[in-house]
Amino acid sequence: MLSGAALLAVSYTWWYRAKPQCYLLDHLKLAWVLATGAAVVAVVFHGFIRPIAGIAEVLFWAMALLYIYQRWIQRPTQMAD
């Protein structure tokens, strides 16, 4: 389980660094993946699981709400003719 979490965090970080342009949603996704990986590691240390899981949950909801806003609520900017 620990190696899987580490592999996921490393592979996503590598993909994030290789991406030419990063936006706010990309930063939130990276932070969420790292916090989720840290929560898996924190399962071993029971005292740290609640704060790290709380951070991962807040990041997830921020990411989800930003996606919903960008996809369905925000009006697209008008293209210049």
pLDDT category at 41 given cuts 50, 70, 90 is confident
Statement: residue 28 has pLDDT above 90: yes
Mean pLDDT, the chain, integer: 87
Q: At what angle do helices 2-18 and 24-42 cross, to 10 degrees?
A: 160
Q: Specify the higher pLDDT residue, 79 or 38.
A: 38
pLDDT of residue 40: 87
Phi, psi angles (nearest 5°) of residue 59 = -65, -40
pLDDT of residue 76: 64
pLDDT of residue 71: 87
Q: At what angle do helices 49-68 and 24-42 cross, to 10 degrees?
A: 160
pLDDT of residue 79: 55
Give one DSSP letter per residue of 15-38, joined into a string. HHHH-S---HHHHHHHHHHHHHHH
**d(Cα 38, Cα 35) in Å, to the nearest integer?**
5
